[in-house]
Amino acid sequence: MAAFKETKFPANAPVADKALGWVDDRFPLSKLWNDQWGQYYAPKNFNFWYIFGSLAMLVLVLQIVTGIFLTMHYKPDANLAFGSVEYIMREVPWGWLVRYMHSTGASAFFIIVYLHMTRGLLYGSYRKPRELIWLFGFAIFLCLMAEAFFGYLLPWGQMSYWGAQVIVNLFGAIPFIGPDLSLWIRGDYVVSDATLNRFFAFHVIAIPLVLLGLVAAHLIALHEVGSNNPDGIEVKETLGPDGHPLDSIPSHPYYSAHDLFGVSVFLLIFSAVVFFAPEMGGYFLEYNNFIPADSLKTPAHIAPTWYFTPFYSVLRATTADFMYVLMGAIALYVAFIWVTTRLPFLVKAAIAVVSLLVIIGMLPQVLDAKFWGVVLFGSSVMIIAALPWLDKSPVKSIRYRPDWHKYVYIVFGLSFVTLGYLGTQLPTALFTALSQVCTLLYFGFFMLMPWWSSMGTFKPVPKRVTFQPH
């Protein structure tokens, strides 16, 4: 075993340096800081799209801190939960502020994460060698959805109660195991005190632990292969005499100042919402959630919080009539694969057989539309994870793709936003038809990506990054 050797400092060295040296001899504090940020070299052409990663970290810390203070007064009991939230809002000093920061932070988290994912989509940040970073990020997104869902029940208001009832009942549509699975999730035959207790445990302990581990894995994987940039160029391929990429700069102090500016703008907007519009017109905090949960009184319109509504719209769009459209779409897709690809015959045949079985399963005599709605609901989320293998473009960044690719992204973005809006509205015939069109556009973007992403005339990618001061 090697002998312990302590770092020596001059007698007149600052006390802080001596203290840091003492810690570094026993724990790699300085090494961790330098590896993960202080001396981590990032591409010099980052733009404003690259502030959302650090903002997500800020909001994560904000949610954990405010959540800790809320649990000091919250009571996970069906008879006391709603009253404890009201007590926090009215009696606990600054309790209203902590609660509004937490509720606004939940929406802010999803806004930031959606923008962070948009940046990855635009600049190809999921492409080789960053597939694992994307998968870790997608797992974080799933954890956030679970965390938000479990936390949504805790205020024990009308929309919390009935929203949880509807979502949990979706699992009942799964053949064979559905009813038992729904019963296991609820812990009772209806959403009750048992459900509230287990959702509280998942929201406060289980999911945050998994989330923190995934965030650490996401950052470690990112710093192992290096950050992407708006040009989609691998800066590590051009090194300087010092061994660092020529087109990179140290994260500190350059991107520290860059991110601090973004944090300042975010906190200004965040504070304005918290102090002046914490309910955000009923989108951040629904009006029905200020009414105690009543199992005997169903709200006129049950809808999840806005950040779930794009996927919820996909669920509602899957009606019995729409199943025939989906059958036709699947048949056309298989025919398209047969005509346009050079896959081995056995692979094509396997795809055709599986698709035929799915089409048979979509017949109303076999499986009802509710089951397929749950399948599409889950698929609309899970398909995002497949992006690294669906995109066949020879370039990463949208800057060097054909101009018409931008319109494909715009149509996809508009369909996603439209689905989100329709999920907050009553399902009229017109809105249902519109959500079905947007559902087809949403899935078409991903399912046809192997073809459209490689089509067109691509612009030449420079060997060095193009930097524009901003």
| Burial profile 390-407: b = 16 or more Cβ within 10 angstroms, e = fewer | bbebebbbbebbbeebee
Angle of helix 369-382 versus helix 429-447 axis, rounded to 10:
50
Mean pLDDT of 127-153: 95
pLDDT for 173: 79
Q: What are the tens digits of pLDDT across the range 355-376?
A: 999 899 888 888 888 889 989 9
More confident residue, 46 or 37: 46
The answer on whether 258 is annotated among ligand-binding residues is: no
Residue 253, preceding bond cis, omega within 30 degrees? Answer: yes
Could you report the per-residue pLDDT of 81-91, keeping only the tens digit for each? 999 999 999 99
Q: What mean pLDDT value characterizes the chain?
A: 90
SS3 state of residue 291 = coil
pLDDT of residue 470: 52
pLDDT at 57 (0 to 100): 95
Report domain extents, the chain.
28-231+246-283, 305-455
pLDDT at 431: 93
Please name the fold of domain 28-231+246-283. Answer: Cytochrome Bc1 Complex; Chain C (1.20.810)
Q: Is 301 annotated in some ligand binding site?
A: no
Is residue 218 annotated as involved in ligand binding? yes
Question: Among 75, 61, 103, 34, which Cα is nearest to 211's?
Answer: 61
The pLDDT value recorded for residue 2 is 57
**What value does the mean pLDDT take over residues 204-221?**
95
CATH no., domain 305-455: 1.20.810.10
pLDDT digits (tens, 9 = 90+) for 305-327: 899 999 999 999 999 899 999 99
**Per-residue pLDDT tens for 412-464?**
999 999 999 999 988 889 999 999 999 999 999 999 999 999 999 999 988 88
